[in-house]
Chains A and B, each alone.
Chain A
Amino acid sequence: MNLYQQHMLAETRRHFFAKGAMGLGTAALTGLNAENANAMATGEVPEFLRQYAPKARRAVWLFMAGAPCQQDTFDYKPKMDEWYDKDLPESVRNGQRLTTMTSKQKRFPIAPSKFKFTRHGESGGWVSELLPFTARMMDDLCVIRSVHTEAINHDPAITYICTGHQLPGRPSLGSWLSYGLGAENRELPSFMVMTPSWSGRQTAQALYNRLWGAGFLPSRYSGVGLRREGDPVLYLSNPDGVSDTARRRMLDRLAIMNQQTLDSVGDPETQARIAQYEMAFRMQTSMPELMSIDGEPKSVLELYGPEVTQPGTFAASCLLARRMLERDVRFVQLFHRGWDQHGDVAKSLPAQCKDIDQPSWALVQDLKSRGLLDDTLVIWGGEFGRTVYCQGKLSRDNYGRDHHPRCFSMWMAGAGIKPGMVYGATDEFSYNIIEKPVHIHDLNATILQQLGINHERLTYRFQGRDFRLTDVHGKVVNDILS
């Protein structure tokens, strides 16, 4: 074993075992050799983390930031029509805390959905008219109508679902995956993030780099943002006036000189650095290849809809997501903003739905036709739900909805998730869950499990505690697994 291998091994040990990850360290350590260390770096699920055979090799989360109205999309509540403009019974609210945006409202009048719902597919799941393409694939999806959280404001809620904690500082889901599983593709980052444009409410909630950040994990596990403008990855292009030849020449000289440093100083980090510069160079080729959709057949482009050729749209991002997944990027997350319909649901929500409906459908179909859906997990949803009662002015045609943590709808598809299923149920007001609640920790535990990771074992020692994505909570939702 040379110094570099020793170093990699030592580093792997440091991260996984020396800190005594849930007592498994010693057992795993005895079996560990350089090959294992390398295997780990190339993306196999390490034995000790794996309690289940992984169903998913990769995952994509279409994140609807701002919180979609479940009543107007998936959680059909026909009885609410009779309740129009009547007050939400106190027995339903049951002392629930409200945001200060509506807690001072004198009334909580019910706003029934103005949109039509129909059943779809063999499974017969209800979907509103806002999502005609999604409706077509109900037999591919598992819609969960009983997701819940505790946070009632965007910043804490989105931080919570993405990092398992309401305050900044913790690693994100994707960075946990990168840390636990390493990269499958050595030429692309293992966790990539896109922030596509949106059409609904323009004063949109913020995103935060922490949502894909590494928290207290080393920064190399952070999600890499694929940008809408400029270089797709920061500083990817050579400076203006520097050719590929010049860059190659510089890297060749750099390798020679760094090798001299390695020979005289003997620090294995130097060897790692030589490798990183080569990887950077490969990324300079692989990223533009990834970004270029010139080779995509017309039939595929048509699948995603007309906006697919406009860079930065949700459609274009979905196509790129497929291209990443195809190249074994481990985790892709799209953050589509503008879902915070405190008012003007009538105009704003259809615009949002139109942005994402066809592209989400297309992504699932495209993955399926390539045989990738079997081992790719697709997740759709936001950080919480919205209230059945109206915020602001109520009419039959228009209304607004405030934040609601007690229930919301998401869907999952692919990679061992039961297709054509509707899971969980809320009361007739879509206010409280009456059946099969799924906490966001449960959701994250399930996602990790599908990727082959026992969420209780993927830990990192920080400030004296073995932290994990699901804190001390999380139960895998076995009912939705095939």
Chain B
Amino acid sequence: MNAYSAALTLIISVVAAAPVAAQQVSFQRQVRSILSDKCFRCHGPDAAERQAGLRLDLEDDAKKVLKSGVRAIVPGKSADSQLVARIVTTDADLKMPPQDSGQSLSAAEVDILRRWVAQGAQWGTHWAFTEVERPDVPGMTDTAAEVTEIDHFVRSRLLENRLTPGVDANRIALIRRVTLDLNGLPPTIAEVKSFVADTSPTAYETVVQRLLSSPRFGEHMARYWLDAARYGDTHGLHLDNYREMWAYRDWVVNAFNQNKPFDVFTIEQLAGDLLENPTDEQIVATGFNRCHVTTSEGGSIAEEVHVRNVVDRVVTTGTVFMGLTLDCTRCHDHKFDPLTMKDFYSLYAYFNSIDGAPLDGNKKDPAPVLKVLTGQQKQQVADLETKRATLQQELKQYLASIEYVEPETPQAPIRSEPKEFVWVEDSVPSGAKSQGNTPWNFVQAPAPVFSGQSSSERTATGLSQHLFDNAPEPLTIGADDVFFCYVHLDAKNPPKEIMLQWNDGSWNHRAYWGGDHIDWGKANSVSRRRMADLPKLGEWVRLEVPVADVGFKPGAKVKGWAFTQFDGTVHWDKAGVVSKTDQQPLYDSFAAWQKDQLAAKRKSLPKNVLAVLTKSADKRTEDEAKTLTNYFLEFGYVASHKTVAPLQDDIKKSADRLNEIRKSAPTTLVFREKKEPKPAHMLTRGEYEQKGQQVSRAVPAVLPELPQGAPSNRLGLARWLTADNHPLTSRVTVNRIWQQFFGTGLVKTAEDFGSQGEAPTHPLLLDWLCAEFMMPQLDGAQHDWDVKHLVRLIVMSAAYRQSANLTSADYEKDPENRYLSRGPRFRMDAEQLRDHALHVGGLLSERMGGPSVKPPQPDGLWFAVGYSGSNTVRFKKDEGSDKVHRRTLYTFIKRTAPPPQMSTFDAPSREACVVRRERTNSPLQALLLMNDPQYVECARGLAERSFSESGPTPTERAAWMLQQAVLREPSATEVQGLVADYEANLADYQADPESAKRLLKVGETKARGDVVPEEFAAWTMVGNLILNLDEVINK
């Protein structure tokens, strides 16, 4: 037992035996906070502010003889102690704290300090800076099976406070609570029933295991972490443009689902890039240090922004992993904690050397970034690479098998027939930029497809087009070339006109078929040439346009092509040009080929081939000769052409497709270290242009040293944070996870474990949990730093399983439930509320991962604040249930105007790190839950489900609907009330049937049509009521 836990045990015994030892003052619990609050500002760690050379945060300094010859604290002798004298004096000039400080001590505080000095002024290190040691579990009389180690700690504290543990929650309340807490969603009625019916002693544990294994677990845990990591989908400052880094969000979800050990979780996020041969995933994880807000505001000074970015990384790391308020030390030594300004800039040095510019350029992927292929894309890439390798092998083998013999009388070279050059097939040409009124939409069979895998489908009202431009390898036009394109016009919904356009720097090259509805260019000219009537409907037709008809001269370079239609549905497929240009003639003689090539000095020959060719034959090495022969056999030999050409073609297609996939892959912001670290300096008052002395990377002196052999970079820092002897990382993490379940942490100030933070209510429990988290001794853990193990321990405790009901007496003694005399009950978080409603309404899409989605929100929220030129100034809601009904975790967060469904319920804007959400109760929340179309749609969904799942009578239906949300058996009174409301609503809707139809139209999905609208609407209102019940919106 270390000094710290000894002190705590002492306090506990003191409190337990209150009357006898009430005199004994505790430094940790009573004195330190007074000194910190009232004295440290002038007598604390900050050397610049220190008065009279007195420092009260360190024992030796506080007790030493000061320059003035007096001693602030003489242990055991309050009469000789200046500290006591100065706080009890009535002389205003001498009185501490001085009047102008705005501080004063209460009589009780004076008494505590006086008694503490009289009792010997015992000292102790601030609790959070002492190493975690596994405390013994307090002995308990209660040996019931459901009482866990956690409860032994909890109950000993209850006892000290003359409180008693609450009764167990009933099974329905329990499964609701634990499902909401582990998966962020409510259980289904079937899950409830099965749990209630399961009489085995492990019934609850079985439920917990199931929930921990569900992929919903990772989604739920991730959202807490994303608050801390300040993850958002826009840059957060000024233009607040789109930023692409959802891959990081998905990484967090997966990490929790895979139960990644928390030390690894930490190391990969802080330093994944510095690991040996890091995987893509480990690099994605480093996005943690890129989540901070960034800017590219015109006029910004790069160095100033750089400093802000680095400071944010330092401060966030301090809060998230250590519960330290490092921001205070940016401009001066910490006023309360033993942290110096130098400590700050030494940590700053770790995060200072990013290999990328500080300004984000207003683009989605400011460097450094990583391209991230989805699972499906990875598979495609692997398949294509295999295919390409096979084809190349085949080609190689074929070429090797040719036994070439020089003919005695060579034939004239064969100039090939015009050849179809296919430019568009299943994708736009590699590297070209695809655009359109709506994106290109490649569809596969059973939709009409002419060739390849897919065709491009487009349905239009009026004019619509898709196009590409800026192809890096343009088409070079020859004299008699002919463009071609395959189209399939829908017979049921034919277009009025179709048009092809080409861009060689100008788009004024157009050909059209059918009516003259698109008035671009000049009629009857190259800029608008009518080719013919619309081709035959309902089948594939080849369109052809001689290049001259649309104004191209030989040598023109075409970089873009547009496919345009007026109304109707059209499938567009293979397109290109039939050309004779630049095709190599074929020879039966190697000698003749060489001669011609040499004469023409063909630039299209690869350099190495050309080099060999220009050497005289006798000077070529064997290898060189072989290179040349092989080239001829592959590209110039008439006899091999038929076999080789299709292989080459297929290889090229594979390569193009690979390129296309890689180019279109999403990106994510990551951290990468500069080759040469950027020197770090102290910055006077935190100002970027006021550089002080250079500092090197180091960790604060008050904390343990870096582990042996740890590199002097972020990886070393991450290893240090996750070393067993680091006193903060495990405490801060365990506390934050505890807070998820009980609403308040064991340390209430989850963001501050310094001396200004609150001391833990259950210090021994906190340390025991930390020890068990870092190095588990109980069964069930998979590894050290096991998050699921920790979570399991918490939810298995009797404390967690208590009923949340409270009595007035409980409330008086334990108003905030800090001693856990009852089970946790509080309003669900924003995400839970919405997910819960979607789930109960039968609408929730469980699709995981991918780009963030935009469920509907009221018009104009972005526009009211957005920068006119921002690419997020206009909100456009997504379409389709798989987007608008996703879990709220996936909702797009524009940080300067976050979604109201989130911010109204205290979700942070993600502009800065937040580890503890406030929980408020406001009329705006009531308005949202009652009137937001998404919640109304959920209410309608609940009614709709009842039409297929409940009994037919109003009583049955009302009971069924209520039970879906509260899970318990509804009472007869409740059901009667709902039925009465239903009937009253029904009468109103029958009097005004139009309004029923209007209500049913609210939402993104269509209401089913086979129910009488007035009844449907009246039940929807019942659903709306149910989803607003206090019982429903609380966990």
A pairs with B: yes
Interface pair B804/A195, CB less than 8 Å apart: no
Of residues 249 through 280 on chain A, the ones whose CB sits less than 8 Å from some CB of chain B are 249-250, 253-254, 256-258, 260-262, 264-270, 272-274, 276-277, 279-280
Q: Is B498 an interface position by the 8 A CB rule?
A: no
- Other than the given A6-B812, A234-B924, 6 more pairs (CB < 8 A) read A20-B37, A227-B864, A241-B997, A247-B930, A261-B1031, A457-B102
B998 within 8 A of A: yes
A42 at the B interface (CB under 8 A)? no
State whether A279 and B858 are in contact (beta carbons under 8 Å apart), knowing that A242-B999, A266-B808 are contacts in the complex. Answer: no
B860 and A101 contacting across the interface, CB-CB below 8 Å: no
What 1/0 mask marks residues of chain A from 228 to 254 whose CB sits below 8 Å from any chain B CB?
A: 111101111111111101110110011
Q: How far is the CB of A263 from chain B (nearest CB, A)?
A: 10
- List residues of A whose CB falls within 8 A of some B CB: 3, 6-7, 10, 20, 22-24, 26-27, 97, 99-102, 152-155, 167-169, 189, 195, 202-210, 213, 216-220, 222, 224-225, 227-231, 233-243, 245-247, 249-250, 253-254, 256-258, 260-262, 264-270, 272-274, 276-277, 279-280, 283-284, 402-403, 456-457, 461-465
**CB within 8 Å of A: which of B224-240?**
236-240
Which residues of chain B have C-beta atoms less than 8 A from A7's C-beta?
811, 815
Complex CA distance for A97 and B337, rounded to whole angstroms: 35
Q: Given A204-B867, A283-B927, answer yes or no on A249-B984 (Cβ-Cβ < 8 Å).
A: yes
> Interface digits, B295-325 against A, CB 8 Å rule (1 contact, 0 not)?
1011111100000100010000001000001
| Contacts between chains A and B (CB distance < 8 A), count | 287
Cα–Cα, bound, A465→B335 (Å): 9
A262 CA to B105 CA, complexed, in Å: 40
B805 engages A266 (CB within 8 Å): yes
Q: How far is the CA of A311 from the CA of B46 in the complex (A)?
A: 55
Report B-chain residues with C-beta under 8 Å of the C-beta of A210. 896, 909, 911
Of residues 1021 through 1035 on chain B, the ones whose CB sits less than 8 Å from some CB of chain A are 1021, 1024-1025, 1028-1031, 1034
Q: How far is the CB of B658 from chain A (nearest CB, A)?
A: 40
What's the Cα separation between A28 and B912 when bound, in Å? 33
Q: How far is the CB of B257 from chain A (nearest CB, A)?
A: 30
Would you give 27 A-B contacts (Cβ < 8 Å), ordered by A?
A24-B104, A97-B301, A97-B689, A154-B238, A154-B297, A168-B236, A168-B912, A208-B240, A210-B909, A219-B920, A230-B858, A235-B924, A235-B927, A237-B931, A238-B931, A241-B1017, A243-B992, A249-B981, A249-B985, A253-B978, A254-B1029, A257-B974, A257-B1029, A266-B811, A267-B1034, A461-B756, A464-B337
> For residue B1031, which residues in chain A have a CB less than 8 angstroms away from its CB?
257-258, 261, 265
Main secondary structure of the interface of B (DSSP, over half): loop
Q: With the chains together, A24 CA to B97 CA distance in Å? A: 13
Q: Which residues on the A side are within 8 Å of B103 (C-beta)? A: 22-23
Contacts of A258 in B (CB 8 A): 1029-1031
In-complex Cβ contact of A250 among B869, B896, B981 (8 A):
B981
Contact B921 A246 (CB under 8 A): no
**Interface positions of B from 627 to 686, Cβ below 8 Å from A:** none
Alpha-carbon distance between A160 and B301 when the two chains are bound, in angstroms: 17
Q: How far is the CB of A356 from chain B (nearest CB, A)?
A: 18
A105 to chain B, nearest CB (A): 12
Interface size on B, residues (CB 8 A): 116
Give bound CA distance, A222 to B869, whole Å: 27
- Whether B328 pairs with A229 at a CB distance below 8 angstroms is no
Using A209-B909, A234-B900, A402-B299 as known contacts, say yes or no to A253 and B827 having CB atoms under 8 A apart: no
Whether B133 sits at the interface, judged by CB under 8 Å, is no
On whether the beta carbons of A208 and B860 are closer than 8 Å, the reply is no
B86 to chain A minimum Cβ distance, whole angstroms, is 16
Choose from B808, B923, B997 the contact partner of A276 (Cβ within 8 Å). Answer: B923
Answer whether A464 and B754 are a contact pair too, CB < 8 Å, given A208-B897, A209-B865.
yes
The residues of B with any CB-CB pair to A shorter than 8 Å are 37-38, 97, 102-106, 108-109, 236-240, 293, 295, 297-302, 308, 312, 319, 325, 327-328, 336-337, 689, 749, 751-752, 754-757, 804-808, 811-812, 815-816, 825-827, 858-861, 864-870, 895-898, 900, 903-906, 909, 911-912, 914, 918-928, 930-933, 936, 974, 977-978, 981, 984-985, 988, 992, 995-1002, 1017, 1021, 1024-1025, 1028-1031, 1034
User: Which of the residues A189, A218, A238, A279 comes within 8 Å of B920, measured between beta carbons?
Assistant: A218
Partner of A203, one of B299, B869, B909, B1028: B869
Q: Which residues does chain B contribute within 8 Å of A457, judged by CB atoms?
A: 102
Cβ contact of A270, chosen from B689, B859, B1030, cutoff 8 A? B1030
Complex contact A239–B999 (CB within 8 A): yes
Task: Give complex CA distance A229, B906 in Å.
Answer: 24
A24 to B37, CA, bound (A): 12
Supposing A168-B912, A234-B858, A268-B811 touch, asked if A239 and B931 sit within 8 A by C-beta, the answer is yes
Output the least CB separation between B874 and chain A (Å). 13
Q: Which of B301, B756, B904, B924 has the most CB of A within 10 A?
A: B924
Chain A residues positioned under 8 Å from B997 (CB to CB): 241
A227 near B977 with CB under 8 A, answer: no
Q: How far is the CA of A120 from the CA of B751 in the complex (A)?
A: 55
* Known contacts A249-B981, A256-B977, A227 near B858 by CB under 8 Å: yes
The distance from the CB of B687 to the nearest CB of chain A, in whole angstroms, is 9
Q: How far is the CB of B691 from chain A (nearest CB, A)?
A: 14
Q: Are A229 and B859 in contact (CB under 8 A)?
A: yes
Chain B's nearest CB lies how many Å from the CB of A471?
10
Among B109, B298, B1002, B1025: residue with most chain A CB under 10 A:
B298
Provided the pairs A227-B864, A233-B924, A258-B1029 are in contact, do residues A22 and B102 lie with their beta carbons within 8 angstroms?
yes
- The complex places the Cα of A270 from the Cα of B757 at a distance, in Å, of 29
Let me know if A269 and B238 touch, CB within 8 A. Answer: no
Nearest neighbor of B34 in chain A, beta-carbon distance = A20
Chain A residues with Cβ below 8 Å from B998 are 240-241
- Smallest beta-carbon distance B198→chain A, Å: 26
With known contacts A261-B1030, A403-B299, A464–B921 Cβ distance under 8 A: no
Q: How far is the CA of A465 from the CA of B918 in the complex (A)?
A: 17
Whether B977 lies near A253 (C-beta < 8 A) is yes
Q: Are B97 and A250 in contact (CB under 8 A)?
A: no
Which residues of B are found within 8 Å of A272, using beta-carbon distances?
921
The interface residues of chain A lying within 8 Å CB-to-CB of B936 are 239
Interface centre among B97, B325, B827, B930 (most CB of A within 10 A): B930
Q: What chain A residues lie within 8 Å of B930 (beta carbons)?
A: 235, 238, 247, 250, 280
Min distance, Cβ A257 to any Cβ of chain B, angstroms: 6
Return chain B residues, CB-CB under 8 Å to A234. 858, 900, 904, 924, 927-928
**Which A residues are CB-close (under 8 A) to B914?**
216
Q: Is the CB of B924 within 8 A of A167?
A: no
Given the interface contacts A219-B906, A270-B1030, A276-B922, does A167 sit within 8 Å of B912 by beta carbon? yes
Interface centre among B238, B870, B997 (most CB of A within 10 A): B238
